[in-house]
Each structure stands twice: as C-alpha cells, then as structure tokens.
Amino acid sequence: MKYSPWSHERAVALLATLREEKGAVLMALQLMQSEFGYVDKACVELIAQTFNKSRADVHGVLTFYHDLRTTPPPPHEISICVAEACQAVGARELERDVKAKFPQETRESYCFGNCALGPAVMVDGTIIGRATLEKIEVARQ
Ligand code: FES
C-alpha cells in the first residue's frame, strides 16, 4: 500500500472535509492513517483543535483502537484472519510460519468475509484465499 509522506498542510486540508461529521475524531484518525499510513503525533493536537476536543479525548480514541498506528507502517502489511472458519483450515499454523519469516509485518485480523476460501490473508490490501506461505511471499513482491 502506498501512503503519502506526512504533511501538516495535507492533514489540515483533509480534516477540513470532516468538520460537519458526527463522530469526527475516529473518522479523522482513520483518515490520517489511510492517507499517511499512521497517525503522526502532531495529529492529536491538530484533531483536537479542529473538532474542539481535548488532546486527552483524541489520545483516548487513538489508543483504544488497536488498528490505529502511531508509527510508520512496515514496507508490507500481512493480516492473517484467525477467526473460527480460518482457524479450522490452518490459520494458526500459517500465522506461526508467517510471523517467523516476517515478524514486523504480520498481524492478526478477524474475518475478511472470505471464510469459504480460508485461510484468508490480506497482503498490502489484497485478499488471498487458501493462503500459503508461498502465496504470501509472491504477493509481497
Ligand atoms: S473466518 Fe476468515 S475470512 Fe471469515
């Protein structure tokens, strides 16, 4: 997945598009992560000012949701579904092997809606069905 480099001006412009939204803090954090790949620490103050919240309010939302990152992402992102249907067809064993090979890139997820083709894995935003370590290695290239 390609992300834009952090830019204060770009962040301000993006946040301006959410000014009228309810639940804007979470949406703003998600927007920052989708644009820059993570939520830069400068975003907390910026979001607080934009939506008239305290920094503690923004920080609380940021730290509550585990999918929100505060550091730049690794070069590739591998999410392995470990929900029940994928576990039944070897997701935990696949996770062990993938984590051993790509420890910084691998994380757990829960159901991509691809249950019939488990184990399901998402590599850089693309879902792979009946995933194997070999398929994941090819998808990372
Ligand atoms: S349980 Fe893995 S995609 Fe649904």
Residues 61-95 pLDDT 10s: 999 998 899 999 888 999 999 999 999 999 999 99
Task: Give residues with Cβ within 8 angstroms of 68, minimum separation 6.
Answer: 29, 30, 33, 39, 62
Tell me which of 92, 95, 109, 111 to substitute to probe ligand 1's pocket, judged by most ligand atoms within 8 Å of the beta carbon. 111
Same domain, 60 and 89: no
Q: Global pTM?
A: 0.71
**Is the pLDDT at 109 greater than 70, yes or no?**
yes
| Among 14, 48, 7, 13, CA closest to 31 | 14
Tell which wins on pLDDT, 48 or 19: 48
Number of separate domains in the chain: 2
State the CATH number of the domain containing residue 115: 3.40.30.10
Tokens of 10: 């770009």
Ligand 1 pocket residues where CB is under 6 Å: 81, 83, 85-86, 111-112, 114-115, 118, 120
Atom of ligand 1 nearest to the CA of 91: 2
Tell me which of 79, 80, 86 to substitute to probe ligand 1's pocket, judged by most ligand atoms within 8 Å of the beta carbon. 86
The Cα–Cα gap between 28 and 46 comes to 10
Same domain, 59 and 82: no
Range of the domain at 22: 8-64
